[in-house]
Amino acid sequence: MTTTFQRACGLSELSEDTPKRVELDGTPVSVVKTQGEVYAIYDICSHANVSLSEGEVEDGQIECWLHGSCFDLRSGKPSGPPATRPVPVYPVKIEGDDVLVSLTQES
């Protein structure tokens, strides 16, 4: 299976630890630059159906603003309740100023 990447945003559009919501083929994705890396994670909390990109980023995790569940940006796994199900994470590559994301799930 071929991994198809598409442009999500410009690297220059991302602020450190500030999630940016984009939509790729109808899929809401939160793109996050933190600790020198760029991550893409499904933008909807697995617990409460709210946008993760409205939450805080800290220590490689994104926090859902509604109930405080945190998800690992690398794996999508929740670090504690109330969320119990992981959210999808997506491969990212950088070409120049373009942040490219593939909707092929890594996990």
- Mean pLDDT for the chain overall: 94
Q: What is the DSSP letter of 54?
A: G
Delineate the domains of the chain, giving CATH numbers in brackets.
Answer: 5-102 (2.102.10.10)
Task: State pTM to two decimals.
Answer: 0.93
pLDDT at 102: 97
| Across 37-41, average pLDDT | 98
3: confidence class by pLDDT, cuts 50, 70, 90: confident
Tell me which amino acid residue 72 is: D
Checking if the pLDDT of 11 tops 50, the result is: yes
Tell me the per-residue pLDDT of 45-81, one tens digit each, with 9 for 90 and over.
999 999 999 999 999 999 999 999 999 999 999 998 9
Sheet holding 61-63, edge to edge: 57-58, 61-63, 70-72
User: For residues 2 and 10, is the Cβ–Cβ distance under 8 A?
Assistant: no
Which residues lie below 8 Å from residue 55, measured CB to CB, with a gap of 6+?
19, 62, 63, 64, 65
